Structure formats: C-alpha cells, structure tokens
C-alpha cells in the first residue's frame, strides 16, 4: 500500500466512524423525540458532525492532536445525550432545560493528569447561567468543563462522577445519586467473595479508603466536593431500581454508639494485586536524618507510585509497596543512590519481594476499637496466610497487610468470613448419626434453606461421624444425600481428623460439635473442645452427670470463655426444662423443689399399668413398642432418671455426685444379674404380685403410682422414687410417654410452675437439639 493510499484509508476510517455515530444518535432521537424537539436536535446533530469532520480533517493533516483538541472532540457525546434527555423530559410535561457545563464548571489542570475545580468562579458562572436559563429541572452534561481561559477540557478519569459531585456542591444539593450497574458498595469484591454484602452506609472516609485500595466505589476526589457540605452520595443500580443502594455520608455519633461488636467497625475489604515490596535495610540507617527522604526522593525521580509504607521505630529498615511494573526501575534507582552506603555496609540490602498483593481492612474508628487487629490477624493465621508487611496509621480508617499474590483471595475470604459470616454462619460436626443424630440431620435438611433465606442463618454440616465411619466435607455436606454419601465416600472414623476438618475451615470461624451419642468417652472431650473455641451442643447426659469436679471444671471454662455449651435435650428431650430453670435463676427466683416424671419409658409404663394388667405385661409391651432400651433394666433401674435429677440439682446450685442420689430401683434385686434382657422379662412375672399390691393400695386411697425424680434444694438432696399422687394431681393426668416437671420456687410457691409434653422420641429430642443450635446462632448475632 502506498503512503497516499494509506492516508486515504485512514481518512475514510474516521469519516466512517463519524457516520456511524451520526446514525446511532439519529435512530435514538427518532425513538425518543418528536415534532420541533426532534427537528431541532437533528439539525444541531448534523451541524456538529460536519464541524467534527472539519476538525478531524485538520488533525489528520497536521498529523497530531493537542490535548485541548482531543477534549473538545470527546465532549460531544455528553452534549448530545444531555440535549436528548432534556427534550424527553419536556415531552413528559416537565419544565426542563439542558446545561453545557463547559459554561459553568471551571477547572485548573494540574501536573498529575488531574484538574482542580475553581469553586468560586464556578459558583459565579452558575448564578449567571440560571439568570439566563430559569428552569425547575436541569439536565447537565457530565465529564466536561472549561479552563479559566474558556478552553474546553474534561474532568479526566471518573469525570462523570466527579462532575456530579461538583454540581451537587455548587447547588448545595440535599443528595447526589450516582447511577451505576451494581446494587451498591460491597463489603468485598463479589467476584472473589460470594458472601459479600451490599453496605447500607459508608462514611466519606471509609469510601475514600476503599477507593484508594482499588474497590469499585468512587474516585477519592469525587467525595471531596460533597464532603465539605455534608451532602450524602447514594450509589444506585440503574438496572435494579428495587435495590436501595449505599449511602455515603458523615455518620452521626449515635450511629457509632449503636454499632455493637467488631463487625460493624470493619465495613469492607479491598485488594490491590500485581505489587512488589521493596525493603531497604541496614544498621547505618538508624538515627541518620534524611534517609527516608533520600529513599523516596529516588522513588519519585523514576515516577513510581508508592502504595504503602511500613517502617519499624528502630529505623533499621524501610519497606514499601510499588506496582510490580515499576519495581525494577525503583530498585535500580535505589541501588544507584545508595551505592556507597551498600559498598560500605551501612546498608545491607535493597531487596525486592515480587508477586505481592495488598489486603486493606477499612472501617471508621476501627483502629481504636479493641480486638479488631487481633481478630484480623487471627483469621489470617488460621488460614495459614503469611503476612509480609503491615501498615496501620492513626487515622483509624484502615489496616493494610501485604501477602503473597497467590494467597490474596484466600486471605480476603478468610477475613471477610471472620467479620461478616461469624454472626450467621456456623460449621457443624455431628457425632453419632444414629436415631437421634439422623433425625436431626433430616430436620436440618428440611429447614436449611428457610433459615438461610429468611433469617440469614447458614448452618453447614462439615462432618458426620459414627464409631466406625465418618464423612467429611470442605464446603458442607449435601444433607439430601448424607446417608448415601456416607456409604459411598465415608472413611474410617478418626475423631482427631474429624475435629480438624470441622474446626479447621478458616472461612467459617464459628464451629459447633453436636454430640448425639450417650457415650461418656465422647463427653470427656467437651472441655478440650470448648477450650479450643468450639461450641458444644448435646443431649448426652454423661458430662453434666459425671464426676462433680469434671462438671465444675467444664462449667467454669464455659463461663470464662466466649464459647457456648448447650444441653437442653439432656432433660425432657425437646421440652424447655433447662432453659426454664436457668431463666428462673437468672431473674432472681430461688428454687425450692423440682419434681417430675423425667422418663418417657416409665411414664408410659405407669400410665398403662391400670386395671387388671400386670407390671411384667406392660413392661414387655413397652419394649415391643420401642419405648425401652434393648434391656429394660436400663430404664427400670432409675439410673437414667437419676442422671437427669443430678443435672437439675447441679443447675440449681447443689454440688452433688451421682452417688448422692437415692434411687428406688424397679428391678428386683435377684434379677439384676440376669444374663440378658430377654431372660429378665421371662422372670419378671414372678414379681408382679408385689407391684400389683402397690397399685391396689394406691387405688384404694384414690391415688396413682408415678415414678419420679426429686430435687430438694432446701434439704440439698435428690432422689428417684415411686410415689403416689391423688387422681386430680397434674402428675396423675399424664398420658402416653409424656414428661411433666413441677418447679416450686419462692415466686411459684402456692401454685408450682408446670412444664408438660412429650419427653422422649427421636423427633422431639432432635427438635430440642435443633432449638439449641438456633439459640447458638442467635447468641452469635442472627435475628431471634
């Protein structure tokens, strides 16, 4: 291709491009406008296009374009858009005019490819403009302005947002709304953190910090014009008008006072990639005036941008981050500047650490809130993230850390989870997927989506283990298939590995282990679990009814830590027995006596032991219906009831051992050593006459037999015994396998407080455990 042909081709290209622009705007105008407004706009459009062709031909002939020429050309799009929108608004009956902001906004160009608005002159020109164009509604161009010499220019990068803020400031607007394509400002980049949330409010300073660290919010200079007049900026999504957006404003003192915990003080996280650390180190730096000035003077000379600086108070080293593309020039400049000091050993090194990223944690008053830094670095440590450098100024707005680039997303997710998910997201481990545990898992499966969608409670089962096989997951087990998955992918049970998997997930800081067994060996681990920060929920009675010293040690740890230990289902299955007792005590009531039918098995037996039926017949029927343990002596011995009595006694403040509880066993002495449960049932009819007589004596007195547990706080004792009650007594009104518990207190003295309902069965027991799980979520901050 010859030179003249190539030039002709280039000319054809810009003419074709202009023609395409013309056609696009004509089509848009024809769709939106009509009548005189359409004719006027199209006339102006053709004139502008012809002028542009003439100007572009001049640029083409000259071979280059000045910056002011370029700014003038690129500003036409704003002019056309503003004219069309103003005409459309008028078409809908609103008094409206359009403003060419080059007539109003005056800026002084600076040396850093930025501009500095002249607010006094702009205000004067705005007043003049309104005198000539009085209107209720103004559509103003964005992005474009003029110099003091009336030469057209632009507001450079993010200029449209900047011009909106400038106009808002000039007009002393009530608010400025920035329309964009996202629902607002997120707590982290949603492309990297799926759990990122839209922030309702941000302070000007918080938004400023986030912008500096690369978050897609606003350019820092956009905030300056509105900030001086306390004008709120609202970030809204033009494609989702139902989203309320994010308000950037000056927070009231009350807002800070009402922020509870650490999360509200940490508002968001931002990252900058493709950085390198430069570390200038040497003993000769300490106490030498001007060293830092020399370092950063050399950096300035090569035009590099310093993102972060970290210097120890000893002055032994200065560490700073720069864009990776600039680090080679920076290092070369520093080595040249300090050649003599390096040769003499006063400086030991100018080291470059490549492949770095910055993670910034932003929040107003964050630095002065105790625990924020500790929580941040604990989250990073738990995620096994190595921090290369740290910077935290006294401005209270950010804590900045430098990490390896490959660790950046993992670090971002870890810290975001610690501050944003800890209140609602819980990693769960289920120990004992038998009848109770399996039913609980099914209840969790059925309710999980509702809890997450309506209450923002995210319960993730990270592991399920039995005595022989366990199933582990890093993201959460699919509870719709947990039985099949356990068969297909289950591995040999290893409690230590199980705990590590459930508790070791650094994205979910809160961990709860749910022990659905009746195993004392599992219960012996509670102290260690709580000490490690793992919450414990259980229906297992062994820990709270075991040796007193171990129980007291466990409860002391629980009270001293921030870890929760819930055990509602240890007494009364799903009935609120423990919580009722705790509520009475916490509100200052004094317990006098607790009396109740605590065993669903024995409740069924004595509710059914009526008329001519024999005791052995009723026990056999209870076993056949699944109400008893495989060996009915486990129920009839009263030991299980005694464990519930000791739990309530200790909860009431009595320091009793299980051996202190008097038990009237229903197992005849001579049958205690029977070889099996079947043999016991075969021999039990020999003792029917004794039980029949007790029933008859009670019946003759207008009473019934009930097997009860009693806590006598006044006498500081407990007992499990067979008692008689009048037929109008609440205990005599029981049916099926229901439990009933009576609290006699100083407040409830004449008329005891009664709790009654199903006290046995997989569904209600699992329901009681589930209630404790939701109670834990509530304590962690989920809506109650």
Whole-prediction pTM: 0.60
Catalytic residues: 644
Domain finish residue from 397, 419, 441: 419
pLDDT higher than 50, residue 203 = yes
Q: What is the pLDDT of residue 113?
A: 73
Whether 578 maps to a domain, the answer reads no
Alpha carbon distances (Å) from 696 to 628, 637, 724? 25, 22, 11
**What gap in Å lies between CA 72 and CA 150, rounded to an integer?**
11
pLDDT in tens, 742-772: 999 999 999 999 999 987 788 999 999 999 9
Region 433-442: mean pLDDT is 95
Q: What is the pLDDT of residue 364?
A: 81
Whether 281 maps to a domain, the answer reads yes
Whether 457 maps to a domain, the answer reads yes
Q: Which two three-digit tokens encode residue 722?
A: 């067979």
* Structural domain span for residue 743: 584-759
pLDDT in tens, 692-710: 999 999 999 999 999 999 9
Q: What is the pLDDT of residue 162?
A: 92
Q: pLDDT band at residue 312, thresholds of 50, 70 and 90?
A: low
Pair (527, 630) in one structural domain: no
Q: pLDDT band at residue 393, thresholds of 50, 70 and 90?
A: low
For residues 572 and 579, is the Cβ–Cβ distance under 8 A?
A: no
Query: Using CA of residue 187, residue 410, residue 501, residue 194, what is the dihedral sign?
Result: positive
Residue whose pair of structure tokens reads 């069965």 in the numeric block: 761
Whether 240 maps to a domain, the answer reads no
The listed range with the strongest mean pLDDT (124-133, 256-265, 281-290) is: 124-133
Whether 626 maps to a domain, the answer reads yes
Domain finish residue from 369, 401, 419: 419
Instruction: Name the domain count of the chain.
Output: 4
User: Torsions phi, psi of 176, nearest 5?
Assistant: -120, 125
Pair (737, 595) in one structural domain: yes
Task: Give the CATH number of the domain where residue 682 resides.
Answer: 3.30.360.10
Pair (673, 652) in one structural domain: yes
Q: Which two three-digit tokens encode residue 468?
A: 């022989």
Pair (439, 522) in one structural domain: yes
Mean pLDDT lowest among 382-396, 486-500, 556-570: 382-396
The listed range with the strongest mean pLDDT (117-126, 149-158, 300-309) is: 117-126
Whether 189 maps to a domain, the answer reads no
Region 763-782: mean pLDDT is 88
pLDDT in tens, 74-131: 899 999 999 999 999 999 999 999 999 999 999 998 866 788 999 999 999 999 999 9
Question: What's 106's DSSP letter?
Answer: B
pLDDT in tens, 628-665: 888 899 999 999 999 999 999 999 999 999 999 999 99
Q: pLDDT band at residue 530, thresholds of 50, 70 and 90?
A: very high
Whether 632 maps to a domain, the answer reads yes
Q: What is the pLDDT of residue 263?
A: 53
pLDDT higher than 80, residue 7 = no
Nearest Cα residue to 590 out of 660, 641, 654, 655: 654
Q: What percent of the chain has pLDDT over 70?
A: 93
Sequence-distant contacts of 620-625: CB under 8 A, at least 24 apart: 620/681, 623/677, 623/681
Residue 377: burial class (beta carbons within 10 Å; 0-12, 13-18, 19+): middle
pLDDT in tens, 46-58: 999 999 988 888 8
pLDDT in tens, 711-746: 999 999 999 999 999 999 999 999 888 999 999 999
Task: Give the CATH number of the domain where residue 468 resides.
Answer: 3.40.50.720
Pair (431, 562) in one structural domain: yes
């Amino acid at each position: 291709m010859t030179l003249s042909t190539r030039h002709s081709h280039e000319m054809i290209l810009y003419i074709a491009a202009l023609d395409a622009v013309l056609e696009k705007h004509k089509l848009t105008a024809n769709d939106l406008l009509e009548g005189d407004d359409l004719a006027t706009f199209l006339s102006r459009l053709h004139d502008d296009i012809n002028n542009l062709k003439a100007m572009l031909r001049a640029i083409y002939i000259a071979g280059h374009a000045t910056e002011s020429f370029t700014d003038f050309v690129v500003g036409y799009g704003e002019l056309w858009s503003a004219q069309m929108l103003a005409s459309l608004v008028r078409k809908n009956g609103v008094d409206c005019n359009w403003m060419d902001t080059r007539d109003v906004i005056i800026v002084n160009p600076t040396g850093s490819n930025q501009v500095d608005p002249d607010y006094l002159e702009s205000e004067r020109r705005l007043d003049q403009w309104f005198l000539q164009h009085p209107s209720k509604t103004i559509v103003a161009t964005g992005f474009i302005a003029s110099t003091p010499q009336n030469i057209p220019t632009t507001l450079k990068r993010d200029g449209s947002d900047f011009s909106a803020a400038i106009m808002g400031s000039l007009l002393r607007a009530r608010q400025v709304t920035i329309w964009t394509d996202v629902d607002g400002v997120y707590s982290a980049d949603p492309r990297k953190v799926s759990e990122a949330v839209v922030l309702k409010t941000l302070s000007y300073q918080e938004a400023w910090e986030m912008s500096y660290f690369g978050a897609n919010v606003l350019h820092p200079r956009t905030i300056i014009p509105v900030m001086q007049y306390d004008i709120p900026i609202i970030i809204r999504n033009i494609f989702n008008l139902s989203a309320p957006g994010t308000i950037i404003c000056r927070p009231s003192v009350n807002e800070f006072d009402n922020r509870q915990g650490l999360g509200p003080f940490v508002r968001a996280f931002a990252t900058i990639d493709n950085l390198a650390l430069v570390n200038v180190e040497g003993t000769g730096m300490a106490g030498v005036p001007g060293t830092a000035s020399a370092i950063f003077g050399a950096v300035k000379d090569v035009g590099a941008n310093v993102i972060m600086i970290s210097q120890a108070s000893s002055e032994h080293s200065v560490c700073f981050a720069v864009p990776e593309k600039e680090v080679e020039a920076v290092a070369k400049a520093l080595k040249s500047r300090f050649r003599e000091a390096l040769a003499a050993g006063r400086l030991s090194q100018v080291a470059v650490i490549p492949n770095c990223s910055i993670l910034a944690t932003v929040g107003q008053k964050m630095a002065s809130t105790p625990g924020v830094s500790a929580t941040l670095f604990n989250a990073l440590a738990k995620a096994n993230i190595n921090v290369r450098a740290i910077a935290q100024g006294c401005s209270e707005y950010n804590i900045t850390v430098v990490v390896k680039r490959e660790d950046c997303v993992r670090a971002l997710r870890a810290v975001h989870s610690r501050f944003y998910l800890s209140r609602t997201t819980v990693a769960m481990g289920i120990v004992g997927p038998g009848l109770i545990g399996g039913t609980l898992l099914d209840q969790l499966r059925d309710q999980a989506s509702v809890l997450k969608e309506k209450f923002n409670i995210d319960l993730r089962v990270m592991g399920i283990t039995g005595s022989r096989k366990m199933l582990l997951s890093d993201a959460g087990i699919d509870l719709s298939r947990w039985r099949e998955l356990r068969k297909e992918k289950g591995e040999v049970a290893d409690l230590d590995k199980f705990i590590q998997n459930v508790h070791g997930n650094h994205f979910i800081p809160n961990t709860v282990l749910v022990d659905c067994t009746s195993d004392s060996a599992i219960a012996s681990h509670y102290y260690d679990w709580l000490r490690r920060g793992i919450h414990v929920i259980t229906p297992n009675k062994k820990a709270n009814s075991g040796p007193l010293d171990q129980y007291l040690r466990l409860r002391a740890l629980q009270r001293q830590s921030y870890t929760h230990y819930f055990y509602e289902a240890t007494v009364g299955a799903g009935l609120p027995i423990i919580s009722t007792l705790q509520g009475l005590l916490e509100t200052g009531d004094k317990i006098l006596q607790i009396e109740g039918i605590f065993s669903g098995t024995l409740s069924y037996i004595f509710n059914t032991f009526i008329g001519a039926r024999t005791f052995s017949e009723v026990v056999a029927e209870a076993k056949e219906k699944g109400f008893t343990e495989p060996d009915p002596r486990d129920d009839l011995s009263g030991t299980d009831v005694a464990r519930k009595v000791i739990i309530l006694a200790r909860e009431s403040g009595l320091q009793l051992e299980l051996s202190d509880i008097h038990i009237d066993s229903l197992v005849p002495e001579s049958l205690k050593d029977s070889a099996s449960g079947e043999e016991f049932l075969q021999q039990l009819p020999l003792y029917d006459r004794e039980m029949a007589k007790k029933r008859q004596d009670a019946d003759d007195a207008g009473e019934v037999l009930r097997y009860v547990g009693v806590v006598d706080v006044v006498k500081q004792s407990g007992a499990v015994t067979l008692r008689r009650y009048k037929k109008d007594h609440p205990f005599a009104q029981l049916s099926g396998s229901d439990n009933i518990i009576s609290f006699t207190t100083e407040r409830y003295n004449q008329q005891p407080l009664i709790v009654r309902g199903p006290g046995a069965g997989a569904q209600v027991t699992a329901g009681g455990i589930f209630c404790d799980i939701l109670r834990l979520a509530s304590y962690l901050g989920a809506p109650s």
